[in-house]
Amino acid sequence: VRTEIRIAGFGGQGVVLAGLLLGEAAIRDGRQAVQTQSYGPESRGGAARSEVLISDEKIDYPKVIEADILVALSQEAFDKFRRAVKSDGSIIIDGDLVNPGENHTLSMPFTKMADDLGRKVVANSIMLGYLVAATGVVSVESMEATIREKVPKQTIDLNLEAFRRGLELCGRGRQR
């Protein structure tokens, strides 16, 4: 089975890093993964996205064709990609950044929760926790090991804490 994940938002939200962590965690789970990224020339603020494909077989086409999971962290990203999701796919949004209209989404306040933790930049780790718990695309253990290895040393504990808060969100989410 080929699982297609698209994480889209703007530069500075850790969209590319989130994709990298997912792909690496999938490899740790013993699966195949490809991660691609796309962003503008700006270092922050421009549209950014990361795509991750996870499969048990060799992955030919390295891009999302129709997403199983869309994470939209900006209105622009939501408007652009919400149609390119499978009918049984999931759309995860940050409810404070995206107005989903009538669409069915899993809406969580990732950025606000990160603010409460004292560092807005860990919103992506909270999002990953929620994504992992809600979809099971990678194991919790692999993701925790990956976070430990990949994030800057002085932020490991903070990111793990953020990831766990994300995990706990699952099941408590307001779905609309």
Binding site for other proteins (CB under 8 A): 20, 23-24, 27, 32-41, 60-63, 65
For 11, 15, 174, the CA distances from 143, given in Å and listed in that order, are: 22, 16, 24
Which two tokens mark 130? 């929620």
Pairing of strands 47-55, 3-10: antiparallel
Nearer to other proteins, 74 or 107 (CB): 74
Nearer to other proteins, 34 or 121 (CB): 34
Q: Could you tell me if 144 and 163 are in contact, meaning their C-beta atoms sit under 8 angstroms apart? A: yes
* E-assigned strand segments in 95-140: 106-108
Nearer to other proteins, 63 or 176 (CB): 63
Nearer to other proteins, 35 or 107 (CB): 35
What gap in Å lies between CA 152 and CA 112, rounded to an integer?
22
